Structure 1
Amino acid sequence: MIRLLWDAVWGRRAQALTVGVLTALAVGTAAAAPWYVFASAEQLAARIVAGASTEQRMLHVSASARTADLPNGRVPVDKVMKVVEKATGKDHTPPITGLRLTGPILRPGAGAKGALVARAGGCEHAVVEGACPAAAGQILISDGVARSLSLAVGDKFAMKIDNSSEVAELTVVGLYRPVRADDRYWSGVWDHDSRVIDPFLTAPVTFDRLPTARPMTTVDLELGLGAYTPGLGGRLSALDAGESSWTMDWVSSAGEVPGVINTVQNEMSAGIVAATGRFVLLAWFALLVVVRQTVGARRTDLALVKLRGVRRWRVWTATMGQTVGVMLGGAVLGAAAGYAWVRAVIGPVVWPDDLDLAMTQSAELFGGVLVAALALAWLSELRSLRSPVVELLRNVPPRVRGRAVDAAELVIVTLLAVGVWQLTTVEALRSGSVTATMVPALLAIAVGLLAARFVLWLSGRAGAAAMRSGRLTVAVAGLSARRRPTLRWVVTLLVVAVAGLTTAMGDMVRGEQAVTARAEQELGADRVLRVDGVSRKNLLDAVRDIDPAGTRGMAVSYFPSTVGFSPQLLAVDTARLAAVADWRPEYGALPRTPSGVDDPIRVADGALRLTASFDRKVYALGDRTQPVKSENPDFPPFDQPVPPPTEITGDVFAQVALVSATGTRTLARFGPLQEGRHDYQTTVSECAGGCRLMWLGLSAARDGSSQAAVSWGTRVSVHAVQQDGRALLDAARLGDRQHWTGSSNTRVLGPILDGSADGMTLTAPPGCDDPNHSRGTCEMRAYPAEPALAAVTTGLVGRNGRNNRAQLELSGTDPADVDISGSAAKLPRFPEDGAIVDLADFDRVVGVSVANEQLEVWLADAGDEAFVAALKQHGVNVQSSSTVDAARGALNRQGPAGVRRFQLGVFGLGVLISAVALLLLASVERRTRAGELAALRRQGLNARMVRRISLLGYAVPTTVAVVAGLAAAAATAWLPVPKPEVFSDGWKVLSPPDGLSTIPFALTALAAAALLAAVLVYAARRLARQALIDGGAR
């Protein structure tokens, strides 16, 4: 029996190979699907965690002592970690530990509380201008704190500790700023709103000198992948010290990530399962067609076996064994190949729970799909096994029993109509339901059945008409096709496969277009270099020097956090924007390049001379009141006049703020001022590359501070500023009032400015020496009057300046008015709200380097390595490089992209399966059709007509099937079903294309045409050759 089965299989090895391959594809795809899902899900989880925001990666824990039982009044770090790891596990970076105390600053004009922070490795992660704190009371402050509190290196002040009687005596020993603005070391410390005071960095010994204070223990962790297990948010919410001696708080958005991972994994799993199910159904249908053809080819063999009187069970074994053995072998090889492919292309399944589930589900799918395939084979063999010998020996196709087929077609059409009606009327069924998944498949099947009926009808009508008109080629080809009932199933199979491939191709094209749009929008240019080592101004000059034409590169400054009027900001070289950036149509018109402004006042190293007049007379311009509580509680407080001081006491200084090309601020001080008109001189030593003057101002030395506010009524006249005998500012320019203005900051008091032919006069307004004045601190500064910073915005704009104007607010700089010159629906880089300004204009307004500023260079050509090398020669340090292609690659590793590739692959295999089925049909019927053509050949049919009939008999049904498949895909696009998500994070800044474009239709048509044309030519040539051989030479 085994030898008989082997000989039978080997005798029809082409058909057996087809059955085995189809079974391998169906079973192997189904068995590999769980491995694909779980392996992709694990890698997707790792990518989601790697791409999570700082708030989602970092866990900030603070622990405070409630009683004095703890040593030094501090909570030990090991106690905190023991509690935290109950929720997160041990997959995290080494903890960043520290101590923290808060309290009011005992200094005039200091309204905000200060934070005293000792943090492990603080100086290693910061750029320090000065010394790192080593002794008790020594601190580092940021440039913004130095400005807001009028502090300089060497100044001293005190800070009252909250919930304690301790007062910390502090000495400023340096300024600090993060080495990298995005360094997660500073998360929760530096990445606060730009209007909040930065913490003071100190050494732990400072806390040892405050014995009664109870500093807060801080622990910052960066969580690893293993921490983001389901339920993380709940475990974090339940964190509790578990002891009465201390309490703890935490800040993190890490609990959101497991939910995102679960949602994305479920969406990806649903997409893969749906695609796998549709492919398996297609493969089953192909198996049914192929096995029916194979059974038809074995009808004569079966008849001869029955004539010999072989027992029924042996007949069944001999017949079914050929198919079952091939299917079992194909199933095993397919499952092994599918697993090997997933492991090689996607990767292994690592997590133990996923591994168990993948093995179980793969085994279940292997058995289920295989049993279903065997059932289809049994049903296909059943009719032949029950047929009498006389019918098996007939050389004409068996009579078609149409009632069952008609009933099946009617059921499919009915289900399709019901599904379309449900999708049209019930909105809840349009997404994530069985109806939304099955209706497109039912539509393709229905169109395939209609196309098959149309092919048979067309063949009969065309053949009959051609016979009457004497066109033998069409007549023979048409009538022959009309008598081949198996052809209708191949046509249906082709329609379903082409429709599926077109839909998958459409999703792929749509996804690629959306991915490209997102990569361009998030990056801004074909290649973006993140740089440091230079100032904003030097970078702008370097890029312009390398590329004078302005077509290759562009200097950019990016602020990812709030800048006052906008949540994010891009400062670009607007003259180069069109040539360098990927400016998409969604952005609208390009921003205008600002018009030129007056050249700034330049100062070099060396002696700087200022001529000023001063006297100690009080010039009390204006008046001042303060609220006084009434003695009668029934009366409200009333305003009581406050008299001005009787004379100006203390030292008064004139000062000039300079900003160098490297972005650092230098303060040139003149004085103390003497009564009368005098020349004052100071030496400037930080302006080797040239500095520009930012403002002129006054300050006083009082209460241990060299930057105290002057008293109400202080007046100083500035007559000239000179250097090397050259007048930088003469009396005429100083006295032109239109060229000078006060601060744009509505939270400070500015000077009363007056101009004359003798120069500019600055007078301190009422309340200038009162730190509790409602207008805030007093800044006696006069700024050169320049146009406001022009900005193009998208989204909302914050307004809080004078007359409700938008203002630029950055830590360490003066607020500046912003002129909103235009708005756009979308702009590059920004997911929602943002603004674009000109870089040179921005540098004119800001000048100094500021925190959270990311300097970049945008390149028009990602492969322009010569530009990168030139940047390095100009002293620019390239930290990192990002390209649109790399961004596209990263986005294409998300879950939805994996689903799109999987769908395209399986439906591509579907078209290949259909082509194989067509090839097998031609092989099975070749002997019969060749005999018919050979008989006509003997009657005088020429060879050319034989070849044309052979090709036409397959070409017309195949062409109709391809066109019908494309039409079914087009109809599917019109169904009220939401398009699949392109991104796992729901990104929709730019809407993806809607519907099917002509590209997937063209690509599918070309691919199907190329494949099927090769099959048609091969089948037709084999048929014509056989017919010519059997018919003899004519």
Structure 2
Amino acid sequence: MIALVLAMVWARRGQTLTVALLALFGVAAAVAAPAYLRAADRAVAAGQVETAAPNELAVAIRAFQKDQREAKPGAPPSGPDLERSGTALAGLPGFHYVYSMEYAAMGIEPSISYASRFAYRQDVCDHLRMVSGRCLIGESDIVLPEQVGRRLKIETGDPITLTFGLRVIPRGGPAFYVENGTPKRFLVAGLYQVPDPADVYWGSRGFFNPGVDLPAGAGLPLFVTSASIHAMDRGAVDTGLDAYPEPGALAVDKLPPVRTGLSEVQTGVTALGGGVDLYSQLPGVLERIESGRAAGHRIVPVLAVALVLLACLTIFLAVGYGTEGRRPELAVVALRGARWGQRWWLATGENVVAILIGSIVGCLAGQLLVNAFAAWRFPGVGADAGLSSLRWAPVAAGAALLTALMAERRQIATPVAELLRRAPAVPNSARAIAAELVVVVLAVVAVVQLKSALRGVGTAAAALVLVAGALVAARLLVPLVTVLGRRALRRGRLGVALAGLQLSRRPGAVRLFALLTAAVAVIGYAAAAVDVASTGRTAEATLGTGATRVLQLGQTGRQNLLAAVRAADPEGKFAMAAVKLPSDPGAPTTIGVDTTRLDAVAAWPSTGPAAGEIARQLHPAAAPTVNVDGAKVTFDISAQFPSGKAVALTAVLSPREGGNDELAELGVLRNGRNTYEQGVPACAKGCTLKVLRIAGGQGTLDVTGVLTVHSINGVPSDVLNDPAPWRASEGGRIGAASSGGLEIEVTSLNGLPEGMFVHPASAPYPLPVAVSGLTALPAVENLDARSTPVDVRASLPAVPGAGSPAVLTDLDYADRLSTDGAVSSTAMVWLNDRAPKDVVDRLTAHGVTVTADIRASQVQERLDKQGPAIALWFYVMVAALATALSAGALVLAAAVDRERRVEDMSALRGQGLSRSALRQATLYTYPVLVVVAVVAGMGVSALGWWLTGWALPLAGLDPPALPLAQWPRLPTMVLTAVAAVVLLAGAAVLAGRRTLRRIS
């Protein structure tokens, strides 16, 4: 019997090979999913490590040792000693540890306002490039930055003398340094450059981030040996122990020991007591890795299940078609009195052998497919092959065998008379419909379960919806083929009629159409997921960043920022000033931007109002500014306050050509008319008056009185005589003085510890804003952290750089309404893709310091290496396998039908059927089926996406507050449909041409 089955396999080796290939695809899909997840885990970890900043990978321990010279003789060291106890903290496997010490030293810099950075760092010579001389060897050696040597004219071999520097902070004055120790003589061994300041070796100490307004190289370290730093007569010392990972230390299988090591390090730091601090962003990196892995483990199984179901449907169709072609053979076996078991073996043995062969090869093929894909897509990461990838292979193989037995069951149970019929009856039994209804019910249950979580039954929701939709579409659309075939026959279109009737009369036509529809639905669903995720990552990278490129700045005044950006880009084509306003934790983020450039620079949501319209609403016309000119500001003021009540006046002035705000403190006002002067050199080229601050001294908050500003140098008298362009805050009123000037009545300063304020009305009030994700917003915290009423002018899908909920306003107007005159630490410059290469130099030349450069392309790269993006590459594999399965099913169906169709068409040809009609009947049958199936399949994929696509964590488990795409773009889906038609119809045409060549 076995020999007979093997002979049957060889006789129909083409059909057997097809079934084996279909089984191979099914088992390969079951193996590929876990294998791909293992590769994806490795790629996620490697991608996060690759795109992380060096300080995100480092672990830094800091300890501040007090001045040991103040300790009693023989007393133990005061404070923690990382040099001796640091080994107890070295608990991170695969990490290098670097010990460092540093303090201030004096002796070579010409100013006492800053000192040299005297430092030792373990193995530093391995990370320096000597431009002259050599690196450190002896106790008296020192190496200097090249910039310092060039500026101070110090060369290799020169002696220098350094002394410990003590920082002194006098009350009311700037800090300075004084010598505080015995001088020590050093020999300059060499001058160095740093090849890679961003190398993770340098940790987070900021060795190469010089301070603002320091001479060239003044903030860079002077390196010495450990013996040198201990030989110095020194005071308090800043010590550190930095750990950074070796290559591969953060591979996915090494993460658990790293987490354990981090916990142990934290315990060790706590045990050392006060004075020791642990700084690390590594837990954030580990959390991102775990989040990406978790998202991938939810995304991949969704279409893996669909692909396995599709493989089972394909095997069911293939076996059913093959058995259909063997009906006469099965009838002969039954007529000869074969026993039931023999009939089963002869009917199923051929397919069982093919499926077993395909399953065995599929185990290897699935892993090899993932290996090849990982080598192409994730070079250097590897697929991490293991036996765990095979855990679902027996299930898939068993499902394939069960599917084959179910497909053959009907033919084995069919009476001999029915088996001998040349045109078998088309099945339309209640049993088949009931089975399809079961699939529909399961799909409904899975979708309901999906509302809770993308786990368990919910994981199969998309697969069940796609299969159920395909089955329903087949039941509804295939009967139409009969109607259309009959209509074509009545109209004399024989070729079209024969093609349609050929499909409607075949028992497997419904199953074939259902399979093609399901395959296209899977392909469409995969394309939708990939497109939505890609669009979302692009939006997150651009809209989330705010612009193509964002420069973060050091502390600067808001008007100085605006002036610098406008000077660097006078035409407003590529740069825009922006500041993040202060807000309480949990409150919506507020972004102030130069709205005159909003349309040209900012990344903007694709829906909602246009950027130009929002700019016009946020920057309406306002009264002109009040200009104060001259290096000396003079105020002519009359004051009348109760005796003994001290009331002071301060004017906040903004230089018009750049520079931070200046405070002209006029002091306590004297009763009567007096002149007050204050030197403000920054206003030599002109300033604008931002605000007048009237504050009472201690015990005078209940003061009332009147002051009149008669004149301010450079301010026209008509501006002061008219109270309309002025605005007073709570605690006072404004009017016109009878003697000329601006009259300010102080009604009460109770509850106003900062005093009352008088603003020129050069900004609209309340402040115009646009909001996203907010229904009511009475006020925001302005740049001075004071509550400012707002006027909501528009609603946006998202605020660039902030998302939703968030607030957008005009930076210039927000600054004019502020009262502090302080600098901002959240200043930014947004740039578009037309920014020139020297934009940083241009900005630096106008008084701002760039501290970070964030590019949307870099953010996009990081997002492309996170879990969701990596997991979705599996969907590309699924789409390719689904195409191969459906194409294989088409070829098999055409091959099984070929003998009978050749006989039928040859007979019709002999009866006068034209060659044209013959070609139509032969070549149009399956391509037309493909076109209809593609249309139906894309509709089913849209239904499946609507019901289940929302549950895929395409933006990660914690998506950003941005309006990410929910539906795929139409061109993407159209191109997917066209590609499916071309590939599947091409396979059908090739199979049809082979049939046509055999018709006489």
Same fold (TM over 0.5): yes
CA deviations on 1:584-610 (whole Å, 9 max, x unpaired) are: 3446861421434434435466xx485
Question: Equivalent residue for 1:790?
Answer: 767
Question: Equivalent residue for 2:194?
Answer: none
In structure 2, the CA distance between the partners of 1:332 and 1:9, relative to structure 1 (3 Å rule), is farther
The answer to whether the 8 A contact 2:546-2:830 is kept is: no
Q: Distance in 2 between matches of 1:434 and 1:807?
A: 47
Query: What's the TM-score, normalizing by structure 2?
Result: 0.67
Give, as a single letter, the amino acid of the residue that structure 2 aligns with 1:923.
Answer: A
**In the alignment, structure 1 residue 339 sits paired with structure 2 residue 371:** yes
CA deviations on 1:412-450 (whole Å, 9 max, x unpaired) are: 4225325525755xx676432443333443344344445
Q: Distance in 1 between matches of 2:396 and 2:442?
A: 28
Question: Equivalent residue for 1:42?
Answer: 42
Give the C-alpha shift of residue 914 in structure 1. 0.6
Give the C-alpha shift of residue 943 in structure 1. 0.4
Give, as a single letter, the amino acid of the residue that structure 1 aligns with 2:714.
Answer: L
Q: Distance in 1 between matches of 2:371 and 2:85?
A: 45
Give the C-alpha shift of residue 279 in structure 1. 0.9
Question: Equivalent residue for 2:310?
Answer: 282
The answer to whether the 8 A contact 1:564-1:810 is kept is: no
**In the alignment, structure 1 residue 75 sits paired with structure 2 residue 97:** no
Q: Structure 1 stretch 267-276 or stretch 826-835: which is displaced more?
A: 826-835
Question: Equivalent residue for 1:359?
Answer: 386
Q: 2:591 aligns with which of 551, 570, 576?
A: 570
Give the C-alpha shift of residue 305 in structure 1. 13
Give the C-alpha shift of residue 284 in structure 1. 3.5
Q: Distance in 2 between matches of 1:229 and 1:469?
A: 74
Question: Equivalent residue for 1:558?
Answer: 579
In structure 2, the CA distance between the partners of 1:910 and 1:82, relative to structure 1 (3 Å rule), is same
User: SS where residue 857 of structure 1 aligns?
Assistant: strand
Give the C-alpha shift of residue 1004 in structure 1. 4.2
Q: Distance in 1 between matches of 2:494 and 2:8?
A: 39
Q: Distance in 2 between matches of 1:945 and 1:344?
A: 48
**In the alignment, structure 1 residue 950 sits paired with structure 2 residue 918:** no
User: SS where residue 801 of structure 2 aligns?
Assistant: coil
Give, as a single letter, the amino acid of the residue that structure 2 aligns with 1:553.
Answer: F
Give the C-alpha shift of residue 56 in structure 1. 8.8
Q: Distance in 2 between matches of 1:621 and 1:851?
A: 38
Q: Please show how residues 254-403 of structure 1 align to structure 2 within 5 Å.
A: 261-290=289-318, 293=321, 328-329=360-361, 332-347=364-379, 355=384, 359-366=386-393, 368-370=395-397, 373=400, 396=422
Question: Equivalent residue for 1:420?
Answer: 444
Give, as a single letter, the amino acid of the residue that structure 1 aligns with 2:926.
Answer: Y
Q: Distance in 1 between matches of 2:895 and 2:542?
A: 51
Unaligned runs of 5+ in 1: 100-117, 125-132, 142-148, 157-178, 191-203, 625-643, 703-708, 722-726, 768-772
Question: Equivalent residue for 1:166?
Answer: none
Q: 2:530 aligns with which of 495, 501, 508?
A: 508
**In the alignment, structure 1 residue 910 sits paired with structure 2 residue 932:** no
Q: 2:870 aligns with which of 892, 898, 903?
A: 898
In structure 2, the CA distance between the partners of 1:571 and 1:943, relative to structure 1 (3 Å rule), is same
Give, as a single letter, the amino acid of the residue that structure 1 aligns with 2:829.
Answer: E
In structure 2, the CA distance between the partners of 1:873 and 1:24, relative to structure 1 (3 Å rule), is farther
User: SS where residue 800 of structure 2 aligns?
Assistant: coil
Q: Distance in 2 between matches of 1:414 and 1:237?
A: 57
User: SS where residue 153 of structure 1 aligns?
Assistant: coil
In structure 2, the CA distance between the partners of 1:997 and 1:138, relative to structure 1 (3 Å rule), is closer
CA deviations on 1:104-127 (whole Å, 9 max, x unpaired) are: xxxxxxxxxxxxxx99899x9xxx
CA deviations on 1:594-632 (whole Å, 9 max, x unpaired) are: 434434435466xx4858899xxx9872677xxxxxxxx
User: SS where residue 543 of structure 2 aligns?
Assistant: helix
Q: Structure 1 stretch 487-496 or stretch 983-992: which is displaced more?
A: 983-992
CA deviations on 1:812-862 (whole Å, 9 max, x unpaired) are: xxx695654546464222144544332333555679672423331332xx2
What is the percent sequence identity of the aligned residues? 25
Give, as a single letter, the amino acid of the residue that structure 2 aligns with 1:360.
Answer: L
Give, as a single letter, the amino acid of the residue that structure 2 aligns with 1:503.
Answer: Y
CA deviations on 1:964-983 (whole Å, 9 max, x unpaired) are: 43443344356488532331
Q: Please show how residues 485-564 of structure 1 align to structure 2 within 5 Å.
A: 485-528=507-550, 537=559, 540=562, 544=566, 550=572, 552-559=573-580, 562=583
Give the C-alpha shift of residue 691 in structure 1. 5.0
In structure 2, the CA distance between the partners of 1:663 and 1:495, relative to structure 1 (3 Å rule), is same
Give, as a single letter, the amino acid of the residue that structure 2 aligns with 1:919.
Answer: V
The answer to whether the 8 A contact 1:620-1:766 is kept is: no
In structure 2, the CA distance between the partners of 1:477 and 1:374, relative to structure 1 (3 Å rule), is same
User: SS where residue 558 of structure 1 aligns?
Assistant: strand
User: SS where residue 239 of structure 1 aligns?
Assistant: helix
Give, as a single letter, the amino acid of the residue that structure 1 aligns with 2:318.
Answer: V
Give the C-alpha shift of residue 913 in structure 1. 1.9
In structure 2, the CA distance between the partners of 1:933 and 1:873, relative to structure 1 (3 Å rule), is farther
Q: Please show how residues 440-455 of structure 1 align to structure 2 within 5 Å.
A: 440-452=462-474
Give, as a single letter, the amino acid of the residue that structure 2 aligns with 1:35.
Answer: A
Query: What's the TM-score, normalizing by structure 1?
Result: 0.65
Give the C-alpha shift of residue 74 in structure 1. 1.2
Q: Distance in 1 between matches of 2:736 and 2:480?
A: 97
Q: Structure 1 stretch 317-326 or stretch 284-293: which is displaced more?
A: 317-326
The answer to whether the 8 A contact 1:732-1:757 is kept is: no
State how many pairs are aligned: 875
Q: Distance in 2 between matches of 1:987 and 1:699?
A: 47
Give the C-alpha shift of residue 937 in structure 1. 1.2
Give, as a single letter, the amino acid of the residue that structure 1 aligns with 2:174.
Answer: V
Q: Please show how residues 399-414 of structure 1 align to structure 2 within 5 Å.
A: 407=431, 410-414=434-438
Q: Distance in 2 between matches of 1:683 and 1:863?
A: 42
Q: Structure 1 stretch 1013-1022 or stretch 57-66: which is displaced more?
A: 57-66
Q: Distance in 2 between matches of 1:232 and 1:299?
A: 66
Q: 2:659 aligns with which of 652, 660, 663?
A: 663
**In the alignment, structure 1 residue 1021 sits paired with structure 2 residue 998:** no
CA deviations on 1:476-529 (whole Å, 9 max, x unpaired) are: 334433443343432221121122223333333433443344344313345545
Question: Equivalent residue for 1:984?
Answer: 956
In structure 2, the CA distance between the partners of 1:448 and 1:341, relative to structure 1 (3 Å rule), is same
Q: 2:891 aligns with which of 894, 909, 919?
A: 919
User: SS where residue 925 of structure 1 aligns?
Assistant: helix
User: SS where residue 619 of structure 2 aligns?
Assistant: coil
CA deviations on 1:315-347 (whole Å, 9 max, x unpaired) are: 999997677556655653453233121232134
CA deviations on 1:737-791 (whole Å, 9 max, x unpaired) are: 888889x799xxx999997859899999999xxxxx9865899x98767546834
In structure 2, the CA distance between the partners of 1:783 and 1:995, relative to structure 1 (3 Å rule), is closer
The answer to whether the 8 A contact 1:494-1:914 is kept is: yes
Give the C-alpha shift of residue 39 in structure 1. 2.8
Question: Equivalent residue for 2:825?
Answer: 852
In structure 2, the CA distance between the partners of 1:685 and 1:543, relative to structure 1 (3 Å rule), is closer
Q: Distance in 2 between matches of 1:135 and 1:186?
A: 20
CA deviations on 1:133-168 (whole Å, 9 max, x unpaired) are: 987763469xxxxxxx8x332799xxxxxxxxxxxx
Q: Distance in 1 between matches of 2:722 and 2:348?
A: 111
Give, as a single letter, the amino acid of the residue that structure 1 aligns with 2:831.
Answer: W
The answer to whether the 8 A contact 1:741-1:784 is kept is: yes
Give, as a single letter, the amino acid of the residue that structure 2 aligns with 1:663.
Answer: G
Give, as a single letter, the amino acid of the residue that structure 1 aligns with 2:35.
Answer: W
The answer to whether the 8 A contact 1:38-1:349 is kept is: no
User: SS where residue 522 of structure 1 aligns?
Assistant: coil
Question: Equivalent residue for 2:26?
Answer: 26
CA deviations on 1:522-549 (whole Å, 9 max, x unpaired) are: 1334554557899765664565567666
Q: RMSD across aligned C-alpha pairs, in angstroms?
A: 6.6
Give the C-alpha shift of residue 659 in structure 1. 4.1
Q: 1:239 aligns with which of 267, 275, 282?
A: 267
Q: Distance in 2 between matches of 1:460 and 1:805?
A: 69
